[in-house]
Amino acid sequence: MRSIGRLGQPALPFRCGFPVSVPFRRVTMHVDMSDLDTPIPPPAPAGPTDLAGLTPDELSALVVELGGKAFQGRQLFRWIHRKGVTDFAAMTTLPKVLRARLAEQAVVTTPEIVRRDSSADGTTKLLLRLDDGRQIESVFIPDTPSQTFCISTQVGCAMKCGFCLTGTMGLARHLTAAEIAGQVRVLARELGFLDTPFNIVVMGMGEPLHNYDATMKALNLLGSEEGLHVSPRRVTLSTVGIVPGLEKLAKEPYMPNLAISLHATTEEQRDRLVPINRKYPLAQLMAACRDFPLKKRSRITFEYVMLAGENDTPADARRLVKLLGGLKAKVNLLPLNEADGIPYTRPSDERVDAFAQILANAHITVSVRKSRGRDIRAACGQLAVEKSA
């Protein structure tokens, strides 16, 4: 990472999902965003009860129904979420009778590792298969400076941002809370982090606030003292700006750090790059950011993917300074991770540095992201899987 001007915490990776290697041409996308009003639900539950998505209180109530004690529900939660154990026979602090009843009536669904790819820079990407056969990707990014898990909230994405490979998949379905939290359990188990602190960025496949309830339940499962006990200070949620979701998030007791995928400084420009802007315009988004409650030392991170000839000019930088005026903000600049299928190219380092210097001169904390995992297509904007199920 190259950093310019005032620096706070090192920049986090953001939306692990874009790319291009074709000459620049301006593209106008015609995208119907009406499906946001009727979001695609996760699969309807069938068969045994899935314990992976239940809170400690919900597990306690279930255990009591099965003839056990309430405290044993919390023990069950610890086995699943803190120790990563999913075999009831191995949960030795629970009575044998209760374990037998759980084995008859319940399961603990866990994403299955299909493939594990390792980058030359230490980044690890997991291709995971869900119970219905669909696949998602999760990423471990070491030394950022903390150890960071990048997790997904949907199979695909409905936002169709013009520079993101994930958006080319479309939206197959939402993930359940169990599937979202399950990615962290798998990463922690596979990489030896069950007893080691780590950060989480909700920046993988999908838009978290489009799958609001499942995302927030998953974060609360991960934050539970009975489980991995991940502090909200260690979690960053990235959104393109679904304003009603931001307004709900502002009232949550478990409050993650907030990152806004901005990428543009005018309504017309953002309409083109981030089509959700047509439903929730830039002016409305920035008003929601100004109203968002921040702790004393907190700031909102604004993510800005830099596209050659599109949003990387000095005029764009000056408009960004004006747009962020008065906000407690920091900016993460990400020169585009190029790949086939995206009609934009990466700007030169000189262009990026000149843009960053304008922000720094205006006393805005700015960092330029060094992409991680590009050789295994695990960098920001590059997460995409073949259609499955």
> Which H or E element spans position 62?
helix 56-65
| Whether residue 207 lies in the annotated active site | no
Residues 6+ apart with CB under 8 A from 275: 29, 31, 33, 159, 160, 161, 162
Which candidate, 10, 21, 19, 119, places its Cα nearest to that of 380? 19
Number of Cβ atoms within 10 Å of the Cβ of 292: 18
Q: What φ, ψ does residue 129 adopt, rounded to 5°?
A: -105, 135
Residue spans of beta strands (DSSP E) within the chain = 2-4, 49-50, 106-107, 112-118, 124-129, 135-141, 148-150, 154-156, 171-174, 199-202, 235-239, 257-261, 300-306, 329-335, 365-368
| Rounded Cα distance, 232 and 251, in Å | 14
Which candidate, 11, 373, 386, 330, places its Cα nearest to that of 201? 11
| Whether residue 310 lies in the annotated active site | no
Catalytic residue among 150, 157, 161, 380: 380
Overall size of the chain counted in residues: 389
Whether 372 and 379 have beta carbons less than 8 Å apart is answered as yes
Catalytic residue among 16, 137, 226, 303: 137
At 168, list the tokens: 């080319």
Which candidate, 374, 386, 385, 303, places its Cα nearest to that of 123? 374
> Could you give the residue numbers annotated as active site?
137, 380
